[in-house]
Amino acid sequence: IPLGEFDTSMMVAPGAGTALTYEHESVQARWRVVSSDYLAALGVPLLRGRAFAAGNEPSRSMILSEGLAKRLFPNGDAVGQTVRLGNGQVRNIVGIAGDVRQVGLDEEPTPTMYMPTTWIVTPTMTLLVRAEGDPSALVAPVRAAAEKLSPDYPLFDVRTMGNVIATSVAEPRVQSLVLLAFAGASLLLAAFGVAGVMAYLVARRAPELAVRMALGASPRQLVGHVLGRGSALCLAGIVAGSVLLYALTQAWGGLAPDASIPAMVALGGALLLGVGTLASWLPARRVARISPNLALREA
């Protein structure tokens, strides 16, 4: 099944001939042994040609994924053409199916070959059942039917495609949550740092701010002045972090996709600037309550 743990691949090239080696111009493609309704059960579109016939499909027939067909036959329709596999077997292409992400949702669609069950059947094949409504309601009747047909090969590891998809994204999801937790902790530390620095600066500059107020500056002007200093501090950190991020991506290529770096910098910078401004607002509120006489007397 797509996104399954078990996977096989082999080399394939257009035309007939001897067994393939790595010296030939070939494509490494995954292969699936499927029945006539496999594509329909998974909702994979049949773009050209036909699906496998039920029960009497010639064993040499093959269906290619669209991406694989374009790579093997870039100048024409692949339906009706022949290909040879890595072991030298020759196959006749009867249909072209839509591309499927066989490995992972974050991977590009995989070049895939579909073979009929008249070629080979193994005891470890997967039974796919397309259901309307709750698929779990069909588990018992399908299991009973399978045991009646073949009691020596019972069904096991019954899952829905939703479960399969959830399992395939479980690891990156956990990694994202861990990174999100570290990012949140870093943002919280940055907020406390900015608030602490601004509180210290406000305390040190209390006499100066008192003089400004005595000379006619309004509390709103003083609060804006403090917020501006806090925002400048955050902007300096954003610039330094952006330069460091650029240096790291240049030193270790592939650390992050080039297209995502501007979005990362923009999102991170806006978030840090907003948190830094909010952290500066608490010390800035103290400025509005400064008594000029008391501040000058304590100085």
Residue 34 pLDDT: 92
| pLDDT of residue 112 exceeding 80 | yes
Amino acid at 96: I
- Dmax (CA) for the chain in angstroms is 102
Q: Which tokens in the block code for residue 139? A: 């588990």
Q: Which is nearest to 98 in space by CA: 59, 143, 68?
A: 68
Amino acid at 69: A
Tokens in use for 109? 């669609």
pLDDT in tens, 130-159: 988 888 888 889 999 988 988 888 888 888
SS3 category, 175: helix
- Nearest 5°: the CA angle 45, 99, 117 is 70
Q: Could you give the CA distance from residue 199 to residue 196 in angstroms, rounded to a whole number? A: 5
Distances from the Cα of 31 to the Cα of 14, 85, 86, 201, angstroms: 16, 11, 12, 67
Whole-number pLDDT of residue 24: 67
Question: What is the tens place of the pLDDT at every residue in 58-79?
Answer: 989 999 999 999 999 988 889 9
Over residues 35-53, mean pLDDT: 93
* pLDDT tens-digit map of 156-202: 888 888 888 888 888 888 988 998 899 889 888 877 887 787 778 77
Residues composing the chain: 299
What mean pLDDT is predicted for residues 252-264? 62
Is 0.75 topped by the overall pTM? no
Mean predicted lDDT score pLDDT of the chain = 82
